[in-house]
Structure 1
Amino acid sequence: MAPHGLRTLVVLALAFMTVVWATDHSPLQDFCVADMNGQVMVNGFACKDSKSVQASDFYFSGMHIRRNTSNALGSSVTPAFVFQIPGINTLGISLARLDFAPWGVIPPHTHPRATEILTVLEGQLEVGFVTSNPENRHISKVLKKGDVFVFPVNLVHYQRNVGNTHAVALVALSSQNPGVIPIGNAVFGSNPDISTDILARAFQVSEDVISNIQLKF
């Protein structure tokens, strides 16, 4: 083989190897049902003995039930994560139902381990997310029944009912345990508190204002 042809072959091989390395690892077994009582500490849950796995490990009921939204936010979340469905352990998927009272809101938050895709089942929702620095673009849209919207992983996002009737949405997430970081709770409700002088400088207000907000969380 000519030197030029050999170099071309090597470049193509390296490119192929890079693509392979960039993909997710293939599963090494059919499933890994979470052993909630396991003592082994891993990045996720250890696997239950496959011989003791039952259909109930892959099952969750209740996504059709309207949830109570009589709270300060006017919203409720019904999760179907690994804690509710042990069978999705390691599969990288989960689901949740969102219920909204009229003008109810799910305040700005992030999912550190998942992208989210939302489908409106009832009502109308205003949804949006904010891109990272330095742009900090606010991308938002009002959705109607049947509309779908995607929130990229880790970006701050929110949902709000913009109607006078109950609203419902179903969300899917690309993690069995996506996590949630509500911005208000994280900043003003941490344990122990973030120092008021730090937050006062960050938000350009007095420390008294910060202390008052912290009390609410």
Structure 2
Amino acid sequence: MDYTAKINVVRQRIVHACERAGRHADEVKLVAVTKYIGVEETRALIRSGITDLAENRVQVALPKVKEIHENVCWHFIGHLQTNKVKDVLPYFQMIHSLDRFSLAKEIDQRAKKMGIETVSCLVQVNVSGEATKGGLKPDEVRPFLESLAEFSSIRVHGLMTMAPRVENPEETRPVFRRLKELRDSLQHIDFPYVEMRELSMGMSEDFEVAIEEGATMVRLGSVLVKP
């Protein structure tokens, strides 16, 4: 199995979206969501040049992650229960869904017990206000970042959001724009262990709009791996 052709098409779409926004394509990281595929297909993605992979369910991800020993970066992008932190930390290099104090506390405590010096995280923000989506409200983000000062194992690198599923991707633009505005408003504040740089936003249906609005990471699954 060879995903090279699909990846090339997607990378070209990323380039064009960056050009429309006056950005460079190397500002955007392609994170391939592998929840739809098995171990061999995932290895084929890696052979095709993918270096960042993502999963959203711990019980599905672990057998796959444990079997793949290639030098890649694993991202955890789903809701993370506190009792699953111990399973995620040894295998995932970035958590995109930090969204509550209890989770931050568990990550910090587990990391210290495991001898993991730092855990890279993004704070999940529910910009759209949908009840079915996780994340902090935008006005909760600053006090949450302040509350993380006691957790020396956590490094926050930016924000993540999920836009509503809509037929017209243009309808997601205000959501992505709001997240960037929020990130920008927090960049000048000196929070301990926080570097407000990344914007993880945009999926297969809307990643070009997300890039035009400032995404630095796009999480793509079906556009890469589904027939």
Indicate the structure with greater strand content. 1
With structure 2 as the length reference, what TM-score do the two structures score?
0.26
TM-score w.r.t. length of structure 1: 0.27
Answer 1 or 2: higher relative contact order, Cα 8 Å, separation at least 6: 2
More helix by share: 2
- Greater C-alpha radius of gyration: 1
